[in-house]
């Protein structure tokens, strides 16, 4: 129930909530092994949680509209750091499969985008050589504009249907 609540809020991941609760592996294993009872229980919790939380959201919007919108906007703005595509990787770690994966990184502007050379990673996981990379800024801007146009277009259609 808690995970589905997070899934309908912007900026919060239901999968992350399942990880925090320690249920992600259980649900993933149930889907993989086709454990119908576990999947049905999870789906039942999703339905109950969705119905209950939608009523709570409706109530908060009716009683505390501005505060609720501010909170949801904060969730969205707070999550932007994670989806920012241009990052400089500061260090790596070895995962359980023996592969180097990102451990620490920080956001950079597109013109400062560099990628580490995997062969230059030290024993401590710190990259020593970086090379300039294509930031694909034009593609990112194009899709941003497409997203804005889609949202404004859907809003225009919705307003026409209301009239």
pLDDT reading at 131 higher than 90: no
In a domain, 50, yes or no: yes
What pLDDT shows up at residue 128? 82
Helix (H, G, I), strand (E, B) or coil at 66: helix
The number of distinct structural domains making up the chain is: 2
Domain ranges, residue 121: 84-132
Give the Cα-Cα-Cα angle 97, 11, 109 (nearest 5 degrees): 75
Q: In this structure, are 77 and 26 located in the same domain?
A: yes
Instruction: Give the global pTM.
Output: 0.59
Residues 72, 11 share a domain: yes
In a domain, 9, yes or no: yes
Domain match, 43 and 66 both: yes
- Could you report the per-residue pLDDT of 22-73, keeping only the tens digit for each? 898 999 999 999 999 999 999 999 999 999 999 999 999 999 999 999 998 9
Model confidence over 61-98: pLDDT tens digits?
A: 999 999 999 998 998 888 888 888 899 888 888 888 88
Q: Which of 23, 53, 82 lies at the terminal end of a domain, its last residue? A: 82
pLDDT surpasses 90 at 111: no
Considering the domain architecture, whether residues 103 and 37 belong to the same structural domain is answered as: no
76 and 30 fall within a common domain: yes
Angstrom distance (rounded) from CA 90 to CA 130: 10
Same domain, residue pair 74 and 96: no
Q: Is residue 159 part of a domain?
A: no
More confident residue, 126 or 48: 48
Beta carbons within 10 angstroms of residue 20's beta carbon: 13
Residues 56 and 90 grouped into a single domain: no
């Amino acid at each position: 129930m808690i995970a589905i609540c997070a899934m309908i809020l912007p900026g919060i991941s239901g999968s992350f909530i399942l990880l925090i609760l320690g249920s992600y592996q259980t649900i993933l294993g149930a889907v993989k092994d086709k454990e119908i009872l576990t999947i049905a229980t999870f789906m039942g919790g999703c339905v109950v949680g969705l119905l209950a939380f939608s009523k709570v959201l409706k109530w908060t919007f009716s009683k505390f509209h501005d505060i609720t919108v501010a909170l949801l906007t904060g969730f969205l703005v707070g999550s932007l750091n994670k989806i920012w595509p241009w990052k400089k990787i500061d260090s790596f770690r070895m995962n359980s499969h023996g592969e180097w994966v990102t451990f620490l990184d920080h956001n950079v502007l597109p013109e400062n985008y560099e990628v580490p050379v995997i062969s230059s990673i030290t024993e401590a996981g710190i990259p020593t050589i970086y090379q300039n990379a294509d930031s694909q800024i034009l593609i990112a801007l194009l899709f941003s504009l497409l997203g804005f146009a889609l949202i404004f277009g859907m809003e225009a259609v919705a307003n026409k249907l209301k009239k």
